[in-house]
Amino acid sequence: MVGDASPAPAERTSLGMRDASSPSEARTGGEASQDPAAPLGWLVPHEPSAPQRSREEDRFFGRYAAVCACATLLLFLGGLVAAPADERTGVVLISGFAGAVVALAAWFVWRGLSRGLFLVTGIVLMALGVVVGATLPDGLDGAAVLPLAGALLVLPVLRGRPLLAMFALAFAASIVGETAAYVVGGMTHLAGLVSAPLSLAESGVMLAFTYGLVWWVSNQWRLASARSGEALATQRQVLASQRQVLALNERLLATLDPQQVLDLIADTLKTVVPYDNLTIYRVDRDAGVFRPVLARDRFASLILENTFPLEHGITGWVVTHGAAQCVNDAQRDPRMALIPGTPAEEESLIIVPLMGDRTVVGTLNVGRMGGAASHFDASEFEIAQLFASQASIALQNAEAHHAVSTRAETDALTGLRNRGAFEEDIAALLADRNAQPLTLLMLDLDDFKAFNDQHGHPAGDALLGAVARAMSAAVRSGDRIYRYGGDEFAALLPGTAPELAVQVAERVRAAITTVDSIDGASVSASVGVASHPGDATTRDGLVGAADHALYRAKNLRGDGVAVANVAHAGWTRAGLAMGCPEAGKGTEVASRVTAELASK
């Protein structure tokens, strides 16, 4: 399964099996690991992980900021020496701010706290812009640029409204710094009392536009990054789901029973595409309909009892066009058709064709109840199609295997199960406590060889087929009939007491007498009855007991039922008399067999 944290695969070496991730074990046996690339390892650069690269880049920028601050400090110190005496106070203050920035940068770089470095440095630069405007002559540019630099500095660590608040603070610092430059720094005598407010307003408008543009661009970048991250997460989720589908398909392909495949489709699909209901339809082109073969729905009984024309509803459209459909708000689709007896409800549907030999052989329908919250998305539609294509293959394999298995267990002439199926079933039923008592009927046609010799093998084959149909009509639904070989048949009656089995045997014998032969000759059969555990406790013992009873019946003119155990004699006559009023000759044979057993 996806996400299974399995250990690293073992790799085979000349020393046996070892874990490839264990360097210590790689050196076992007294030999060093002979990696051809090892001597050149110093030439191969180490590729750091993404978090490592991010931390290294942050530290590099912190060092860069510290260097710039140191350069600024040196420049201010040079300016302090060259400045007139009345300006040195402002230069000292600015130099102090620059020194503080250098100290904070160095401390944060040493601690690796790059986020705090950006925030504190940005705020210090904003404050520095105000001080420059107030203390330096011609400090107007510094008052505008330094707060902007501080605002740009926090772009890597702030997003959304916090970034907008920081930009508003920087804008305020710029306006305050420029106002201080005009009022305190002596810029008014250059600009004049009238032009100074206008210049300040112009600067405010331009700064407002600049800050707004930078914030909008950064916010769009943030949103684009978020969308990109969501898209990447969706792709990873789809890939994980596809891997999960492929893993689930291994289970599907390993299942060879068609009904189990259908159940597995319903169970496994829900783990990758959640649904409220599921129906699988099979197409019957001879009848011109599609019919449900599996329904997981609160209206399952209503669904399973209906068949639909090939062009009926959205499912019919998919069958006709061979194209999958994802229909959210299916109740609004003009192709929508309700199943009789089910209510009209809000529902979203995915209907995918099941293909076989380039033909639509069925559909896989999944639905979710509700409005917009229940809609299927594109990734779920894609996964459902991938799953359905694999499920089609698994279902075809299972049905082909079932057909081959059925042919292998079915007698081609009569359509009954064959001797091999008999051997499998009798072993399973003898081991099943719920099948006890298990009664076996062995049946042989009377004078079948003479019929074959007189009328030929085709007529004999037709007679065997007619006898098989008569037997199938005479037994109960839980009874199993087999062609044992030649003109001999067998029947297994699970959970059937001997007295009831005799009634079934007599019903079978009587049904065979009604079969029409090619020339109107009578058809009859002899039946032997034996029960487990009363007559035998093993397979060979049970078959032998029934076989012996069969041949005793044949030796007494045939067309009768004989039981294996003489203890059954009392109820044999009574059972035949009460259960089978039509039993004439068969009752007499059973009586003769009983008398014969009693005499022995």
Report the CATH number that the domain containing residue 392 is assigned in CATH: 3.30.450.40
Encode pLDDT of 355-375 as tens digits: 887 889 889 999 999 999 999
The identity of residue 494, as a single letter, is: P
CATH number, position 572: 3.30.70.270
Is residue 463 located within the same domain as residue 595? yes
More confident residue, 49 or 589: 49
Most confident of 9-13, 547-551, 574-578: 547-551
Q: On the CB side of 275, how many CA atoms lie within 13 Å of its CA? A: 27
Is residue 149 located within the same domain as residue 120? yes
The identity of residue 101, as a single letter, is: V
Is residue 431 located within the same domain as residue 390? no
Domain boundary among 339, 367, 399: 399
The length of the chain in residues reads: 600
Give the 3-state DSSP-derived string for 504-570, with helices as H, strands as E and coil as C: HHHHHHHHHCCCCCCCCCCCCEEEEEEEECCCCCCHHHHHHHHHHHHHHHHHCCCCCEEECCHHHHH
Encode pLDDT of 423-463 as tens digits: 999 999 999 999 999 999 999 999 998 898 888 888 999 99
pLDDT of residue 500: 93
Domain boundary among 343, 365, 399: 399
* Residues 314 and 336: beta-carbon distance below 8 Å: yes
Question: Average pLDDT over the chain, rounded to whole?
Answer: 75
Would 249 be classed as within a structural domain?
no
Would 238 be classed as within a structural domain?
no
Is residue 183 located within the same domain as residue 289? no
Is residue 434 located within the same domain as residue 573? yes
Tell me the C-alpha distance between 586 and 562, whole Å.
Answer: 9
Tell me how far CA of residue 217 lies from CA of 101, 207, 431, in angstroms. Answer: 28, 15, 78
pLDDT of residue 24: 37
State which residues form the domain around 127.
51-224
* Residues 196 and 182: beta-carbon distance below 8 Å: yes
* Residues 271 and 408: beta-carbon distance below 8 Å: no
Q: Which stretches of 347-487 are assigned E, i.e. beta strand?
A: 347-356, 359-369, 438-445, 480-485
Cβ neighbours for 231, distance < 8 A, ≥ 6 positions apart = none
378: nearest Cα among 355, 350, 353, 352? 350
Per the annotation, the verdict on 138 as an active-site residue is: no
Tell me the C-alpha distance between 473 and 250, whole Å.
Answer: 42
Encode pLDDT of 273-282 as tens digits: 899 999 989 8
Is residue 443 located within the same domain as residue 372? no
Is residue 301 located within the same domain as residue 355? yes
Most confident of 386-390, 453-457, 534-538, 588-592: 534-538
Helix or strand run (H / E) with residue 371: none
Would 141 be classed as within a structural domain?
yes
Would 34 be classed as within a structural domain?
no
Tell me the C-alpha distance between 336 and 359, whole Å.
Answer: 23
Tell me the C-alpha distance between 209 and 39, whole Å.
Answer: 59
- pTM for this structure? 0.44
pLDDT of residue 204: 66
Would 237 be classed as within a structural domain?
no
Tell me the C-alpha distance between 140 and 186, whole Å.
Answer: 10
Would 251 be classed as within a structural domain?
no
Is residue 464 located within the same domain as residue 343? no
Question: Both tokens of residue 395?
Answer: 């279902």
Give the 3-state DSSP-derived string for 116-146, with helices as H, strands as E and coil as C: HHHHHHHHHHHHHHHHHHHHCCCCHHHHHHH
Tell me the C-alpha distance between 324 and 381, whole Å.
Answer: 9
Is residue 180 located within the same domain as residue 283? no
Catalytic residue among 58, 444, 487, 559: 487
Q: Which stretches of 233-373 are assigned E, i.e. beta strand?
A: 277-284, 289-296, 308-309, 325-327, 347-356, 359-369
User: How many folded domains does the chain comprise?
Assistant: 3
Is residue 193 located within the same domain as residue 157? yes
Handedness of CA 314, 318, 319, 324 (dihedral sign): negative
Q: With pLDDT > 90 as the criterion, what percentage of the chain qualifies?
A: 31
Would 503 be classed as within a structural domain?
yes
Is residue 484 located within the same domain as residue 564? yes
Number of other residues whose CB lies within 10 A of the CB of residue 38: 10
Would 33 be classed as within a structural domain?
no
pLDDT of residue 575: 34
Question: Angle 378-409/258-272 helices, nearest 10 degrees?
Answer: 170
Is residue 581 located within the same domain as residue 459? yes
Q: On the CB side of 161, how many CA atoms lie within 13 Å of its CA? A: 0
